Amino acid sequence: MSLDLFSDTHMHSTYSDGCATIAAMAEAAFEKGFTTIAITDHVPLPFDTRYAMKMEQLTAYRKEITRVKRAYDGRMAVKTGLEIEYIPGHKDWLASIASMEWDLTIASVHTLVVGSTPCLVNGNGDEFHTCLDKNFNKDIRSLCRAYYQTLQEAVQTGWFDIVGHLDVLKKYNIQNRFFNETDAWYRKLVEDTLDAVRDQKMKLEINMGAMAHPIGIPYPSPWIVKSAQKKKIALVMGSDAHHPGAIGKNFDRIQDMLA
Q: What percent of the chain has pLDDT over 70?
A: 100
pLDDT in tens, 37-52: 999 999 999 999 999 9
Burial of 49 (0-12, 13-18, 19+ CB in 10 A): middle
Strands 162-163 and 104-108: parallel
What pLDDT is attached to residue 30?
Answer: 98
| Strand order from edge to edge, sheet including 203-207 | 7-8, 36-42, 77-85, 104-108, 162-163, 203-207, 235-238
Per DSSP, 152 falls in state H
Please give the Cα distance from 162 to 70 (Å, whole number): 24
Average pLDDT of the segment spanning 69-79: 98
> CB count, 10 Å around CB of 11?
30
What pLDDT is attached to residue 259?
Answer: 82
pLDDT in tens, 88-127: 999 999 999 999 999 999 999 999 998 888 999 999 999 9
Q: Is 30 helix (H, G, I), strand (E, B) or coil?
A: helix
CA distances in angstroms from 199 to 88, 204, 231, listed in the order given: 20, 12, 10
Which candidate, 101, 151, 114, 127, places its Cα nearest to that of 49? 127
Average pLDDT of the segment spanning 138-158: 98
**Contact indicator for 111, 119 with CB cutoff of 8 Å:** yes
Please give the Cα distance from 243 to 255 (Å, whole number): 24
Provide the whole-model pTM. Answer: 0.97
Using omega within 30 degrees of 0 as the cis cutoff, is the peptide bond preceding 118 cis?
no
pLDDT in tens, 171-224: 999 999 999 999 999 999 999 999 999 999 999 999 999 999 999 999 999 999
- The pLDDT confidence band at residue 1, using thresholds 50, 70 and 90, is low
Query: What CATH number was assigned to the domain covering residues 7-257?
Result: 3.20.20.140
Average pLDDT of the segment spanning 81-92: 97
- For residue 15, is pLDDT > 70? yes
The alpha carbons of the chain give a radius of gyration, in whole angstroms, of 17
- For residue 2, is pLDDT > 90? no
Domain assignments of the chain as residue spans, ordered by start: 7-257
